[in-house]
Amino acid sequence: MRSSIIAISLLLIVTIAKINGHLCILDPPQRGAKLPSPLYAGDNNCYKIASNCGGVAAGSPVASYRAGSYQTITFQQNYNHWFPSNIGYMDVAISYAGDNGQYQTLYSMQDFNAWDMVSQTNLSVPVTFPKTKCTSCVLRVRYISNNSGEPNPDFYQCSDITLH
């Protein structure tokens, strides 16, 4: 009886871990609900699997930057899905034509072994915005884990910005 309870408990923990959180944009703010503080591993605000912006509709711009300027974008890898036989990546990109427009990659990095799937890693990455101005651009952060053992290995977040 006791071993059955332990087995069921472990199964529930594994199942919950597979359905929750993976990537959040911290600065500029991502689309959707304001992120809680503290932000816990597995937060549903970080679990967006629909390309390109996690299925969250565009809103008013939340940040404005000078076109051509150097900036720092901060995001959190809320769960790590490192897969050693086909290592994935995270990138930051911009679209001038909405969620489904063409994206220009501003920064890309290889995924890493965090040694624990439940680790939360804040990343601040340098980007240089294009010199073309826009009143409604989409800044996308994407995590492509390439982890074939996961039912949903890719994660997306977007932020609505302007370049002046």
Tens of pLDDT, residues 39-72: 888 889 999 999 999 999 999 999 999 999 999 9
Cis peptide before 29 (omega within 30 of 0): no
What distances in angstroms separate CA 69 from CA 10, 62, 99, 155, one per listed residue? 49, 17, 22, 27
* Average pLDDT over every residue of 137-143: 97
The better pLDDT of the pair 17, 88 is held by 88
- Domains detected in the chain: 21-163 (2.60.40.2550)
Residue of 142, 23, 141, 147 lying closest to 87 (CA atoms): 147
Beta bridge partners of 23: 77
pLDDT digits (tens, 9 = 90+) for 8-30: 333 333 333 343 448 999 999 99
The answer to whether residue 117 scores a pLDDT higher than 80 is no
Residue 38, C-beta contacts closer than 8 angstroms, at least 6 positions apart: none
Q: What is the pTM of this model?
A: 0.84
